[in-house]
Amino acid sequence: MPPEESETMIKVIGTAYKRDDFTREEFFDYWRDVHAPISAKAPGLRGYVVSEVTRKLQGELETEAFVEQWFDDEAAFENAAASPELAAAWDDVPKYAKTTGTFWVVKEHVIIPPPQRETGVGKSWEIGR
């Protein structure tokens, strides 16, 4: 990412919890197959990553997953937040997840850039946008 982009780009990060009547596998299958394609339609969305928690090392926070979404800047995020596409995504959440997640708008300070997806850890969920 060019330096001028990284200075204004923001990320929304949040916790995600499966509904009690969903297994872990059903939760992630629904997210990948149904919810992610809906969320990916948000205008101005530059990146979308779901990180499945495989084990907790320390601390009190419990969650099944973290979600990360990148936008060019606050204006792009606010535009997406006001869009019918993002409203549709939020309307879909209770169909597979609890609505008690916590979300933050953050600015990244990259110390060591993560590996590219071709060599990174985890599976890529290829979805149509």
DSSP state of 127: -
Question: Whole-angstrom Cα distance, residue 65 to residue 58?
Answer: 15
Dump the DSSP string for 79-114.
HHHTSHHHHHHHHHGGGTB-S---EEEE----SSPP
Sign of the CA dihedral running 67, 10, 123, 55: negative
Please report, in tens digits, the pLDDT of each residue of the chain (129 residues total).
444 555 689 999 999 999 999 999 999 999 999 999 999 999 999 999 999 999 999 999 999 999 999 999 999 999 999 999 999 999 999 999 999 999 999 988 889 998 876 534 456 666 655
Domain ranges of the chain: 3-106
What pLDDT score was predicted for residue 37?
95
Question: Whole-angstrom Cα distance, residue 102 to residue 16?
Answer: 8
C-alpha radius of gyration, the chain, whole number: 15
Is domain 3-106 annotated with CATH 3.30.70.100?
A: yes
10 contacts 74 by C-beta, under 8 angstroms: yes
What pLDDT score was predicted for residue 55?
94
What pLDDT score was predicted for residue 125?
66
